[in-house]
Structure 1
Amino acid sequence: MAILQFLLLFLCLYPIREANAQKPNILLLMVDDLGIGDVGCYGNNTIRTPNIDRLAREGVKLTQHIAAASLCSPSRSAFLTGRYPIRTGMTGHGGNKVLMWSAVSGGLPKNETTFAKILQEQGYFTGIIGKWHLGVNCELRNDFCHHPLNHGFDYFYGTPFTLINDCEVSRPSEMHMKFKKILWFYAQVFATTLLTLVAAKIWHFINISWKIIFAFTFLGTVYFIYWYVAYAFQMYWDCILMKNFEIIEQPMDLEKKAGQIVGEVKAFINRNKEGPFLLFVSFLHIHTPHYTTKEFRGRSKHDLYGDNVEEVDSMVGEILDAIDQEGLVNNTLTYFASDHGGYLEGMEGSPHLKGSNGIYRGGKGMGGLEGGIRVPGILRWPGVIPAKTVIDRPTSLMDIFTTVTKLGGGKLPQDRIIDGKDLMPLVQGLVPNSDHKFMFHYCDEYLHAVRWQQTSSDTIWKVHYYSHKFKPEGAGACYGSKLCGCSGDQVIYHVPPLLFNLSNDPSENNPLPSDLALYNEVLQIVEEAVVHHKATLHPVPHQLNVLNNIWNPRLQLCCGTFPLCWCNKGETN
């Protein structure tokens, strides 16, 4: 009887095992803040990236690969869901452009569907190693409503937030600098007012109750203690390493992160080599503070920035070697990209401590310019995708959602608009053009530009409705703050809009004269597409507004008893 039951179980499971055997493993490699001009295969000849270049030789290199946003949280939400951030509430709003703390209630909404969730349902073991930056909790410190494990991932090892200068004690703080200056100003005003009130009360210049003075003092003290605790201990609040739901380092030891991440990736691949698996490697490199291990410091021609790029390239090489050693290369789709353009203003004081976006204007935070949204994009799958191929057609990070969903045997959600397209027909050479006829480029919640692929003339047009106001000394710095503003007095509103022929002018230097008949023909087509696009948008809660994006001690991840949050639980693979 037991043998019969075993045979029946085997026969039931056999079709599932056979189906899974036909599904490819999916390896997604995403670098943080890497500029398209930082990579050798995209034209850089001063930073060594042999492993990324190897991927390009062995697969398809996309030259018009576009991020849906020029900043981390909105871009990554679009990557995971295949939807413009404006549809999910993950656009910048009210001055906040990304999630600003780990202890906030905003994040990738629970009702959004990620490609990880779909592939998980198709029998894939899914994992993310590295950076998340899409929220953690909603109402309680451990409800984990935005956590990767509640968005379709079976395994998480990394930081729920992102790297910032504040994670390294030797670096100056980079968080909320303008706000902290305002806070310090009002602290001085508060102290001066309080001393004046007390002196006036003592000398009987005013008739005011001591209770009022005490209440004023108490409320002001509580307010400033709250913000002091938030900022003074930011290394402990945000620089956290987690394994699934458990905090294993608080704060993180940056010196060990490169080795730990590669070790976790290798262990994941080894554990799941029977497949199928989906692994999203979301590197902490090359975001500020550009932490680099001793082995790579001083090796490049571009100070810590170049060292950081060369180290992440080495990490990519180790991961590719692990795929090779496990014999998985021919059954693995490997994808490499950056989440948006390079950060041109991140490390002031040295021309070498910033990213390069090559010939493209602008960078991180500039939602309409090519330098902010055009990123490296490479796909490799030997025997399925042709090697040594270059495709100069518009593609999007959002396309990965649709592509891997179909490859994994899943179905696209029918209850929402999916903006990503299936890349496989294009990269396999089965079709000549991208399915993206139009692409919409937002800066926060404002539509800054629109791209149109005119297949009849083999031309890519781009209309700009807004431009950033740059300081006179160069296009790498904006007025107002280190990150460019998207509206108000920090932008120029173009009436009539600017029109560029990206096929001939990829640097966006020479707009077409608005009195040309061709200008009006193109503009009319694009504006009709804008009207149609806006008709598909519906109001959704703003995940990055002030109320959802302010430090909340009730939501603070803590290893220990709050506020004494500290631990180091050692190596875990």
Structure 2
Amino acid sequence: MKKRTLLYVAFIALLCSCENTGSAYERAKGAKPNIIFILADDLGYGDLGCYGQKTILTPHIDRMASEGLRFTQHYAGATVCAPSRNSLMTGQHMGHTTIKSMEKPIKDNDLTVAEVLKGAGYRTGVIGKWGLGNVGTSGYANAQGFDYSFGYYDQIRAHNYYPDYLMENGEKFPLKNEVVYVTDSTNYAVGIGNAAVKKKEYSNDLFTQKALDYIKNDTKEPFFLYLAYTIPHANNESFLINEHGMEVPDFGIYDKEPWPSEKKAGASMITRLDSYVGQILDLLKENNLDENTLVIFTSDNGPHQEGGWRLDYFDSNGPLRGMKRDLYEGGIRVPFIARWPGKIKKGETDQVVSFWDFLPTACELSGQDQPISTDGISYLPTLLGDNEQQEQHSFLYWEFKTSISRHAVRSGDYKLVTIKDPKIDSTSIELYNLADDISEKRNIADQNPAMVSDLEAIINRFR
């Protein structure tokens, strides 16, 4: 009997040993950790201390970077809000997404990250700015895989930090603020854009409280929380009340600085966002969820220059050229930090990744098959330090079309930017080697016609 027991113990030990073999990457496949994806709005590459910011204080995000992995070559899906978020949700680049520029709802047949994770048994929630479809459309968040939604469904309404109501699971959530709406029929925001004449409840404070409540709602299922703040976007309808658009309850630690009010407000918005992240991280630790939760922090595109805010106040784009609405690096290269204690190795990586890589990464984490519709590549190997398993993109692609048509493609270290203005019958073709020209100052197109031709062929595939 004793001999049989010893054999049984040895057999169990062997099984445990087999389960623990393999790389951290192999062991993490299908591990189903909680996932919190925190998205800032119009936050620049240079706005955080861990990316070189010298004046604005972001201690909690900096701590997150020191405890996790900081990416130096991470790209948003687009240079403006709606298409970038669509790319994040569907795992597709701009050549394939159904939202190209102005707001249109996600289509019924678009597969979202939330649908993937819900299919894997996750509890799914979106809090903050959805911006991809209102109630009654195919883009309504609760029709796209989210069990719970709270915040702004419309991206123009999201300009106002003190709205008269938010939305919760398709119903109006009234607030104590009083607003005036745009009535000028020549304005793009007519009937939707608004500004507050009575400011009582700050939307991003409410997002944080709802997020904390969502995390504390302890259930047996793993959870996915897409927490999309609107900081530090400007209220573009602030002209209605003759104020700048950097809306924040107070100037905080910058109150005594000898700066104009919009500069104090913008800095305070970023530091306030940092405090929200700190609250999330603290709660995870307090509730023993820390080591089973992957937290990601990034921004939807580069920094803006609206509502009184200026790039040169604090060097918001850092060493990068351009800003929101540009396809230069300043418009699309954004901060990206991933933290998962005990799993992600601390440090920095120059692995090139993008918004459309999040969906396949979520597939690997949840044990789901990667859909053929995605343009993305899972970056789970990079997160877990298994660089030999990390696949590489052959190219990354972006476009942005208004009256001027902009396209960009990156392959390896080379990036091609084309800008066509039909009004003046002008087309510029610019090629940069990002390995030694991160600021895109030296156009080397004339010296590399073969490279230009190869990259133009990729653009023409989706033009």
State the TM-score, normalizing by the size of structure 1: 0.64
Q: Report the Cα offset of residue 26 of structure 1.
A: 0.4
Determine the C-alpha separation between the residues in 2 that align with 1:254 and 1:397: 35
Percent pairwise identity: 31
Partner residue of 2:97?
Answer: 88
Q: Which residue does the alignment assign to 1:499? A: 431
Give the deviation of 1:351 after TM superposition. Answer: 6.9
Q: How far apart are the structure 1 equivalents of 2:161 and 2:146?
A: 29
Structure 1 distance, partners of 2:320, 2:391, is: 21
> In the TM superposition, what whole-angstrom CA distance separates every residue of 1:2-28 from its partner, at most 9, and x where no partner exists?
xxxxxxxxxxxxxxxxx9994100010
Cα contact 2:250–2:265 (8 A) shared by 1: no
Residue identity opposite 2:393 in structure 1: H
2:415 match: 462
2:344 to 372, 385, 395: 385
Q: Say if 1:271 and 1:355 are closer, same or farther in 2 by CA, change over 3 A.
A: farther
Deviation at 1:398, TM superposition (A): 1.4
How far residue 430 of structure 1 moved from its aligned partner, in angstroms, is 1.9
Name 1:427's counterpart in structure 2.
Answer: 383
CA distance, structure 1, for counterparts of residue 367 and residue 251 of structure 2: 42
Contact kept in structure 1, 2:397 and 2:410, CA below 8 Å: yes
Contact preservation (8 Å) 1:440, 1:449: yes
- The residue identity in structure 1 corresponding to 2:432 is F
Greater relative CO (CA pairs within 8 A, separation 6+): 1
Post-superposition shift, 1:115? Answer: 0.7
Q: How much does 1:87 deviate?
A: 1.9
Deviation at 1:355, TM superposition (A): 7.3
**CA radius of gyration, larger in:** 1
Given the superposition, is the C-alpha separation of residues 111 and 41 from structure 1 closer, same or farther in structure 2, using an over 3 Å criterion?
same
Cα gap change, 1:430 to 1:359, in 2 (>3 Å):
same
Q: How many residues align?
A: 397
2:129 aligned partner, one-letter code: K
Residues 186-221 of structure 1: CA deviation (Å, up to 9, x unaligned): xxxxxxxxxxxxxxxxxxxxxxxxxxxxxxxxxxxx
The one-letter code of the counterpart of 2:299 is: S
Is the 2:30–2:366 Cα contact (8 Å) retained in structure 1? no
The equivalences for 1:75-154 within 5 A come to: 75-92=84-101, 98-99=102-103, 106-137=104-135, 143-154=136-147
Matching residue within 334, 337, 343 for 1:375: 334
2:170 to 228, 232, 245: 245
Alpha-carbon spacing, 1:491–1:441, altered in 2? closer, same or farther (3 Å): farther
Distance 1:354 1:251 in 2: 34
Q: What is the RMSD computed on CA atoms of the aligned residues?
A: 2.8
Which residue number corresponds to residue 357 of structure 1? 317
TM-score, length of structure 2 as denominator length: 0.79
Is 2:395 the partner of 1:442? no
* Maintained 8 Å contact 1:360/1:371: yes
1:65 to 55, 74, 97: 74
The equivalent of 1:510 in structure 2 is: 442
Matches within 5 A, 1:252-401: 255-272=201-218, 274-288=220-234, 289-294=245-250, 296=252, 298-299=254-255, 302-344=263-305, 346-348=306-308, 356-366=316-326, 368-387=327-346, 389-401=347-359
Asked if 1:37 corresponds to 2:46, the answer is: yes
Shift of residue 361, structure 1, vs aligned partner: 1.1
Give deviations 1:276-327, integer Å, cap 9, x for gaps.
0000110121111332123737447631110100000001100111111111
Query: Residue 204 of structure 1 corresponds to which residue in structure 2?
Result: none
**In the alignment, which of 410, 415, 424 is matched to residue 451 of structure 1?**
410
What secondary structure does 2:432 align onto? strand
Q: Which runs of 5+ in 2 are unaligned?
A: 1-27, 178-198, 235-244
- Deviation (angstroms), 1:492: 4.8
1:54 corresponds to which of 63, 76, 85: 63
Note closer, same or farther for the CA distance 1:134–1:165 as it changes in structure 2 (3 Å cut): closer
**Deviation (angstroms), 1:521:** 3.6
Deviations 1:111-138 (A, max 9, x none): 111010111011100001111111214x
Aligned to 1:229: none
